Amino acid sequence: MWNQPAYLLSGGQMKLVEIGRALMSGAKLLLLDEPVSGVNPTLAHEIFSRILKLRDELGLTFFIVEHRLDVALKYVDDMFVMALGRLIASGLPDEVMNNKKVIEAYLGG
């Protein structure tokens, strides 16, 4: 991947390049909007694993907007859920996923 033109990279590899570009800014907090959208599950887990490694090794904070909870839940420390533009729950992933408001908003209760 290191010496390939960007147009030859897969969607998942492009996501890693995008994260790398963001890191070059020197920011201590990065906002990532759906970093695993359209990426196969194996690479999605690899992307989140690399995000955790960056967090731990460089002391960075990541604020991630992600709809693929099947992947993201394994990696997050805290979680926020919005519905209709309002925050309806926040906390540890297990607490939030069992929150009555979250269940009603996303599963119809």
- Kindly list the catalytic residues: 34
Beta bridge partners of 89: 81
* CA proximity to 75, closest of 36, 101, 38: 36
